[in-house]
Amino acid sequence: MKLVYSAALGILTGIAAALLHIFYPPFGLILALVGTAATIWAIGRHFGARKYKLIASITWGLILWRASTFGVGNELLVQGNSQGSALVFLGVVALFIVTAMPA
Domain boundaries, the chain: 2-100
pLDDT of residue 38: 97
Distance CA 29, CA 49 (A): 28
Q: Per residue in 49-72, pLDDT tens? A: 999 999 999 999 999 999 999 989
- Computed over every residue of the chain, the mean pLDDT equals 95
> Is this structure's pTM higher than 0.85?
yes
